Structure 1
Amino acid sequence: MLKAIIIDDELYARVELKHLLSAYPSISVIDEAESGEKGLEKTLTQKPDILFVDIEMSDMSGMEMVVALENMKAPPKIVFATAYSDYAVKAFRYGAVDYLLKPFSNDEVAETVRRLEKMLQTETKDERGKEKLIGKLAVEEDGKIVYLSPEDIVYCTYQDRATVIYTNRNSYQAKVTLKELEAKLTDYSFYRTHKSFLVNLTEIEELVPWFNGAYELKLKSLETRIPVSRNYVKTLREQLEL
């Protein structure tokens, strides 16, 4: 849920916007302020994700307030709200995510919320990706633990009742199922081409027709041909092609 503060010196505008935002479960209005100075204070103490800020206020303009927040470690997203359309270009120069005109429109508020939700999803995915990219996959070899970078894995397969991981130089048995391995590698470029094969997409060189609508993959670094079930071909091509 995105935490928001509404900052506007007009009570009616705050009430109206809060009412419109209440229709969206992803937005929680945690507070409001009737001036730029109070809005600044509440932002620094409560650390919201979003600020809905009026531009023209008596003590401190919305843009002055946004400038004062630039030194925050994680400044909130800004949505400017004003009765004057000629501020739009200037507002985006101040890094605004969106710009709402008064009186507020249901459709415009809905579009703003969608934009904020999409932005949050993208940032969350990026952060999770960064966290995952730091980790390595632990496998055992001759009584010792070997750490593999996901980028070094060419493909994984289930054979002879064991999950085997292949790199350019070696192969390793893993004490997890192929499905569990797929979950561990979900933030990397791996794709399940067959019930028994998980392939690093960056290693694929050619997709070769086989029989009955099935295909085989030719890899860049290994001679092994990887089967592609016909049910997976269309999605695989969508993953590989621009």
Structure 2
Amino acid sequence: MTEHRVLIVDDEAPARDRLRRLLEAMEDCRVCAEAGNGTEALEKAAEHRPDIVLMDVRMPGMDGMDAARELTAQATPPAVIFCTAYDDYALSAFRVDATDYLVKPVRREALASALTRAGRVNRPQSRQFAPQDNPAIVVRNQAGVERVELDRLYYASADNKYVTLVHDRGETLCDYSLRELEQAHGEHLLRIHRHTLVNRRYLEALTRTQSGHLAQLSDPAGTRLRVSRRHATGVRDYLES
């Protein structure tokens, strides 16, 4: 079994102690160092070369987001898992290539799952082996924080105040607007209607019917979605390109 070296970064000693205790109960992880802010985290990471960094967000001096941005930009970066008391940084966390996002108090089961995912080749490292990474939409709900990977998302549909993400595991409600999703993931999502974004990789064809244009998706259900006249040309141009 491969042992993963873990760097704990948090400005509060009790929080670091709790994470250390959780990690000590796991056979495949070893705490190699601790840091109290982002600047110290970069120094410790350069010295100890951790495989995984458990990173708080709000810290004095350099915060966790800035530190994670520098870590994940390295040639062989560690996997970064955010552990924070605030759940409103989730979207920003995955924009800096974080592997996971846990909300304090961190539960042992959630940490173990995040470490398992981080133990695989993380997304920044995988760019050496694959042409594209696998970003995710991060959703806050009653169960906590859920990641919906872009390669598993079929389309997003807006209805009143909520947006529904339809993916290979079912449906997930989120509080991001379609505009926010389009701005964050425009290279993956294509607008076909004022109420609908589709994943470009599943867009198969554009058909014309008596009632208008329909987008044919290559998902298992063979979904067909209405395309507005305003966006029909853009869909056709994308398919022809």
TM-score of the superposed pair, with normalisation by structure 2: 0.48
**Structure with more of its chain in helix, by fraction:** 1
Bigger Rg over Cα:
1
TM-score of the superposed pair, with normalisation by structure 1: 0.48
